[in-house]
Amino acid sequence: MPHLLTIVGCKNAGKTRTCELLVPLLRGLGLRIGTLKYTEHDGFDWDEEGKDTFRHHSSGSMVTGIFGRRVSAFSFNDTEPASVSIDEMIRVFYRDLDVVLIEGFRRGAGLKIEVCRPGFTDGPVVAPAEILATYGVNLFHYDLPHFAYGKENELAAHIHQNLDRLRTVH
């Protein structure tokens, strides 16, 4: 089963862009990567050019999904679709992958990358104990690994080196 890593941050902090950058880098390290976008919206248009899920799919994610309180949707690049809690989605749609990047699901268990961007980051969105690393501008100065813009290769390597610390679904 895949390892789960959540990408969190305030609205417009750069979570989607972070996923877009990490997918090809992690695939370049030999990992099979999927993405899952969380939304608070009850209904949504998805997989339209410019939308987050379109961008995830275009970056090479083998399985791309979005879910909310009453809706979920998935698209598949290289795998056969199959049917849903987040753990059930992972077991069904992402079971053959190495890592699933979950964008925006703050309440989920497991380690997270917190994206920080001046002008958009009001404050931390999760406790430091939940963070594998911060990315962007080092706004919080935690005693944790931080990766500045332009250091995405190093962030991908850090994720790869810490796979054993990430939550898995059985």
All domains in the chain, ordered by first residue: 3-164 (3.40.50.300)
Nearest-10 crossing angle of helices 15-28, 152-161? 70
pLDDT of residue 122: 94
For residue 129, the one-letter residue type is A
Q: Which CA distances in Å does 75 have to 26, 61, 65, 118?
A: 20, 9, 6, 33
Q: Is residue 78 very low, low, confident or very high in pLDDT (cuts 50, 70, 90)?
A: low
Neighbours of 141 (CB within 10 A): 8
* Portion of the chain with pLDDT greater than 90, in percent: 63
Q: Is residue 83 very low, low, confident or very high in pLDDT (cuts 50, 70, 90)?
A: very low
| CA triple 26-27-29, angle to 5 deg | 65
82 pLDDT above the threshold of 70: no
Give the pLDDT mean for 149-162. 98
Q: Is residue 11 very low, low, confident or very high in pLDDT (cuts 50, 70, 90)?
A: very high
Give the pLDDT mean for 32-42. 81
168 pLDDT above the threshold of 50: yes
CA atoms within 13 A on the CB side of 49: 0
Eight-state DSSP code of residue 164: G
pTM over 0.85: no
Which class for 95: exposed (0-12), middle (13-18), buried (19 or more C-beta within 10 A)?
middle
Eight-state DSSP code of residue 86: H
